[in-house]
Amino acid sequence: MSEIKFEITKKIGTLSTSSSGWAKELNLISWNDREPKYDLRDWSADHEKMGKGVTLSKEELSALRALLNDIEA
């Protein structure tokens, strides 16, 4: 299996951190030298390991933001 290449081009923020040190982060990431996309997933403290996540285009992130703004919390 080929290795997945990634580069965190911008760290946007951390949503939470578990007791094990893994953090759920929103970042702008370039996967395999492609255009960076918004990415939400768990990362180990050293960013060497990652959990499953979701990658969004700018348009998808804007649509998600609109949906979240409509939620009454």
Instruction: Give the pLDDT score at 10.
Output: 98
pLDDT: is 65 or 72 the higher one? 65
pLDDT of residue 72: 83
Non-local CB neighbours of 33 within 8 Å, separated by 6+ positions: 5
Q: What value does the mean pLDDT take over residues 17-37?
A: 97
pLDDT digits (tens, 9 = 90+) for 3-24: 889 999 999 999 999 999 999 9
Confidence category of residue 2, pLDDT binned at 50, 70, 90: confident
Q: Would you list the domain boundaries of the chain?
A: 6-69
| Average pLDDT over all residues of the chain | 95
Side chain identity at residue 66, one-letter code? A
Tracing tokens 């998600």 back to the chain, one arrives at 64
Pick the CATH number of 6-69 from 2.120.10.30, 3.40.30.10, 2.60.40.10, 2.30.31.70: 2.30.31.70
Strand residue runs (E) in the chain: 6-17, 23-31, 37-43, 50-56
